[in-house]
Every structure is written in structure tokens, then in C-alpha cells.
Amino acid sequence: MRQIFSDAKLQLDLETDGFAQIALLTPEDCRELLDFHESLAPENEEGFYTSIWSSNREYREKVDRKLKSILLPGVNQLLDRYKPVFANFMVKRAAENSHLGLHQDWTFVDESQFVALNCWVPLVDTHVGNGPLRIVKRSNTFPNVIRGRNIRSPYDPIQEQIRQKYMTDLIVPAGTAIIFDERMLHDSEPNTSDQDRVAVSIVMVPREAEMQHYLRREGVENQVDILKVDSGFFTENGLFDNLDHLKADRQVDYTFKGISEDEFAKMYHKANPEMNPIAKFFVKLFS
């Protein structure tokens, strides 16, 4: 892994746990972004919603520009030679249907050579009741899988078991960035508080890395296209847009294979030996 953070402690945290956290935005920054979000009065923002999902290109691009203007000065100081992909709001309404299912973010670079990062920052204090970010610790070290548009996750068949047994809450105050490896499995529970939980995020990749997008086209079962893209691709093209007019740079074979709970448990305890039931018993016994 090449140097990612300018700060040695943040680098060690990322290498050890797959994420690092640090105060990034001031209270004034948070207030400005909350006011900006309210001023946009986005449509169809119910339950859990992210601005990159919007069908309105002008809205996606406006959010991207504003958030980058606030986030990048601080993020660029933290990271060593990284560039932005896109920035977006991630809104969890105060509603029972506001959960975000377990997932890994899309693949943005060749992950055999580079590490893509998600810098996630809540604009309000997070707590157990308003749906904080949750991760599967060190899941960025699990065997890598293809992730992209119309591509099913191998973790889908056991999503509920993972969510019930293996999640870690990351509870942080407003303005604190959680910067995590895009391969990290994560989710969030419903926001049962009386206040919306608004967060922002920005995807960052190494400057020298070529951006790419994995796409399984409708009706094609055993092949995934890899498109060469630039940062504008993700705001210019909506999540549900038809991309049949775009040519692939290359293709890779693809076969869906779900992971069993036993297979998952072995991967989890290999990455987190301190969480092994036997190890936990002896720690408790001698503490």
C-alpha cells in the first residue's frame, strides 16, 4: 500500500482497521451545508436518500460543486496525492423506512494497485438512535469482489445474519470525518429520532489511478463491462440511466456466487482474531 495519509497515525489506523477518523468540518461549515441542503428542497427524498441517486442532473452537479468547495480544502491536506470523484448528500429521514442495507461501495479504480476512499461526514451528532454509520471491521481485507451497476453482492444471501452479529457502530460528533476503504462492508439502522440525520460524503482516488466503472448490462448474466470514466461520469449519468450507448474498454467474466454464513464467519475471525469467541472468553477470564 502506498502512502495515503499525510499523518502517520491516520495511515496506521487505515492499514490496521480499514478506516480512520478526524475532525474535519467546523460547526459553521456544518450549518452552511445544512442550510444549503434545505434550500435545494430536493424531491422524493424519503427514508434513506443520497443526492447521487437523483434523476435531476442539474441537482446532482450543483450538490457536487458545493460540497467539493467545502470538503476538499481539508481533505486535500489529509490525503497524499488523491483526487475527487464525486460528492453527495446522504440523508436519513426521521422515519422507520430510513435504514440502509448492508453493502460495499462501487469499484472506482483497479484495487489490485490502488485504494479508493469514502470520506463520510455527518452534519449532526450521531448516536444509536439516528442511524450512525456501521461497519464490518476490517472487511476491506476480505477477498475482493466485483462491485458496480446491476451487480449483485455475494453477501446478499446472508445480509440479515451479518447485520445482526457482525456490525460495529461508529458514533461521532458533527463534522467528524470517517474515511474508509471503499471495500468496507457497511450499513446503517433506521433513524428513530425526531431529527433528520444529514451527512455528506466525497469519494477520493489516487491521482495516478485511472477511474473505471463496472457495469453488468441488462440480460447479460456472465459478463461485466469495464468502462474508462472521469469524475464527471457519476454526476452526468444517473443511477438508473440507460448506458447502452457507452462502449466498454474491456470485459471480464462474471458468475454470481453467494457466500455462506460459515464462510463469512471464517473470514471475519481471520481478520478480527480478537473477536473469536475463544479469545474473548480468555480475555474476560483474565481481565
C-alpha cell at 140: 476491506
Dihedral sign, Cα of residue 267, residue 273, residue 278, residue 281: negative
Residues 6+ apart with CB under 8 A from 212: 107, 108, 109, 110, 226, 227, 228, 229, 249
C-alpha cell at 122: 455527518
C-alpha cell at 192: 428513530
Burial (CB < 10 A; 0-12, 13-18, 19+), residue 22, is middle
Dist CA 40 CA 112 (whole Å): 39
C-alpha cell at 262: 460459515
- Residue pair 187/163 in contact (Cβ under 8 Å)? The answer is yes
Dihedral sign, Cα of residue 30, residue 183, residue 147, residue 96: negative
Secondary element (H or E) of residue 250 = strand 250-253
Quick one: pLDDT at residue 2? 86
Q: Which of 243, 237, 225, 216 is nearest to 151 (CA)?
A: 216
pTM value is: 0.94
Quick one: pLDDT at residue 261? 97
Within 10 Å of residue 121's Cβ, how many Cβ atoms?
28
Quick one: pLDDT at residue 199? 98
In sequence order, the β-bridge partners of residue 20 are: 179
Kindly give the residue spans of alpha helices, DSSP state H, lying in 52-100. 57-78
Question: Using the 8-state DSSP alphabet, how is residue 80 labeled?
Answer: S
Dist CA 287 CA 284 (whole Å): 5
Backbone φ and ψ of 199, nearest 5°: -130, 165
C-alpha cell at 128: 444509536
Quick one: pLDDT at residue 164? 96
In tens digits, the chain (287 residues) has pLDDT values of 789 999 999 999 999 999 999 999 999 999 999 999 999 977 667 899 999 999 999 999 999 999 999 999 999 999 999 999 999 999 999 999 999 999 999 999 999 999 999 999 999 999 999 999 999 999 999 999 999 999 999 999 999 999 999 999 999 999 999 999 999 999 999 999 999 999 999 999 999 999 999 999 998 989 999 999 999 999 999 988 989 899 999 999 999 999 999 999 999 999 999 987 655 544 454 45
In the chain, % helix, strand, coil (3-state, to 5) comes to: 30, 25, 40
What distances in angstroms separate CA 86 from CA 40, 180, 229, 269, one per listed residue? 18, 15, 12, 34
C-alpha cell at 27: 460547526
Quick one: pLDDT at residue 285? 45
Dihedral sign, Cα of residue 131, residue 137, residue 138, residue 143: negative
In sequence order, the β-bridge partners of residue 91 are: 49, 198
